[in-house]
Amino acid sequence: MTERKRILSGMRPTGRLHLGNLHGALDNWIELQRQYDCFFFVADWHALTTDYATPGEIKNNTWEMILDWLSAGLDPEYCTLFIQSDIKEHAELYLLLGMITPLPWLERNPTYKDQQQQLDTKDLSTYGFLGYPVLQAADIIIYKAHGVPVGRDQLPHVELTREIARRFNFMYDREVFPIPDPLLTEVPVLPGIDGRKMSKSYGNAIFITEAEDSVREKISMMLTDFHRVRRSDPGDPELSTVFAYHKLYSSPSEVVEIAEGCRSAQMGCVECKQRLAKNMLEKLRPLREKRLQLEQDMDLVREIITAGNAKARGEATRTINEVRATVGVSAWQ
Ligand code: TRP
């Protein structure tokens, strides 16, 4: 049997996941887990690069996110799930990569300046934040990953990882690290209930294991075609957030029916929303049930992560030993 290619990806611990996370990344991970040797981890040190002043939520968010991963269908039989800060070898490789990474590569990283501007309530002129992509490079190459499934926003980080890996191999004249490929997950941005991009911080998100009543209420607040003032006015479904969701959660024939009902004013927004709620809740029911079950069995969840950590640590240790020998810095070897 040929070895399966290795895939690695991580998410910062943001707590409970929303539908944007599910359709943007998690569904893709679940798809990949049977085909590849997958490693997925919680990037809690990365969370600390921006939230170092208020780290209180990180621990809780880590377990919340892991519960949602398992509820959505990441399966520890198929993939290795672990927590970054439990694998100290990432930190050692990060330090060694820091030695060979030219400062201008980091200073011209587009997400560096971008994020500094966007998160302007936080002081991000720190060494740790500048080094964010070096830590990410260490995460990836310590597992000798071949592919890294990411969204478009992370492409500069994977590109930097490739450059750092190449530079290491070249500098020490040894092909220690394979050069990883980004696996771009193209997903249209999912609108939140207010029509803007779905984001926890905008308060417009629907969570993947949210209670039924709460989902119904959020759907009832969703924006529709705002030109359609009266029930008897014809509407344009393409202007409606509700319709964008029907495309994800309703059958193709129902989508056609809804579009026609909207255009001809035969169907009102209330009915359209009720139908969406029914279809969405039906699809999310297994996730919600799995989550309730897992919450009753946190020992099992901890065991899954303990086992994943052990496997990840084994791989990371193997690489870091090779790296130490290659750099030749350990006086005892
Ligand atoms: N920076 C990534 C994000 O914000 C998270 C991340 C950390 C990651 N390390 C990684 C993703 C390694 C892929 C591979 O989404």
Please check whether residue 28 lies inside any domain of the structure. yes
Q: Output the CA torsion sign for 91, 140, 127, 86.
A: negative
State the distance from the centre of ligand 1 to the C-alpha of 46, rounded, in angstroms.
8
Based on the fold, state whether residues 66 and 164 are members of the same structural domain. yes
Has residue 80 been placed in a domain? yes
What value does the mean pLDDT of the chain take?
A: 95
| Six-digit token string for 157 | 């980080």
Chain Cα centroid distance, residue 327: 33
Domain of 103, CATH number, reads 3.40.50.620
3-state secondary structure of 184: strand
- For residue 128, what are the domain limits? 6-190+297-327
pTM, rounded to two decimals: 0.95
Q: Whose CA is nearest to atom 15 of ligand 1?
A: 11
On whether both 139 and 227 belong to a single domain, the answer is no
21-35 tens-digit pLDDT: 999 999 999 999 999
One domain for residues 274 and 239? yes
Same domain (yes/no): 130, 259: no
> Given a cut of 90, is residue 126 above it in pLDDT?
yes
Structure confidence at residue 1 (pLDDT)? 54
Calpha distance 317→297 (Å, rounded)? 30
**Residue 276 one-letter amino acid:** L
Pocket test for ligand 1, best of 8, 11, 62 (most atoms within 8 A of CB): 11
**Residues enclosing ligand 1, CB less than 6 A?**
8-12, 43, 46, 136, 139-140, 148, 150, 154, 157
How far CA 124 is from CA of 15, 54, 118, 268, in Å, comes to 22, 13, 10, 48
Instruction: Let me know whether 257 and 168 are in one domain.
Output: no
Asked whether residue 198 is domain-assigned, the answer is no
**Sign of the Cα pseudo-torsion (313, 88, 122, 98, in order):** negative
The pLDDT tens digits for 277-296 are 999 999 999 999 999 999 99
Q: Alpha-carbon distance 321 to 333, whole Å?
A: 10
pLDDT at 113 over 90: no
With residue 79 as reference, give the H or E element that holds it: strand 79-83
The answer on 282 and 317 residing in a single domain is: no
Residue 187: what pLDDT?
A: 79
Please tell me whether residues 13 and 114 are part of one structural domain.
yes
Judgement on whether residues 12 and 110 belong to the same structural domain of the protein:
yes
Q: Are residues 243 and 282 in the same domain?
A: yes
User: Which of 139, 141, 185, 187 is the pocket-test mutation for ligand 1 (most atoms within 8 Å of CB)?
Assistant: 139
Report if residue 243 sits inside a domain: yes
User: Per the domain annotation, does 222 fall within a domain?
Assistant: yes
Q: What is the pLDDT of residue 296?
A: 98
Check if the beta carbon of residue 323 is closer than 8 Å to that of residue 176: yes
Q: Are 94 and 130 in contact (CB under 8 A)?
A: no
CATH number of the domain enclosing 237: 1.10.240.10
Helix (H) or strand (E) holding 259: helix 252-263
Rounded average pLDDT over 311-330:
96
- For residues 279 and 245, membership in a common domain is answered with yes
Q: What's the one-letter identity of residue 102?
A: P
Report the number of distinct structural domains present in the chain.
Answer: 2
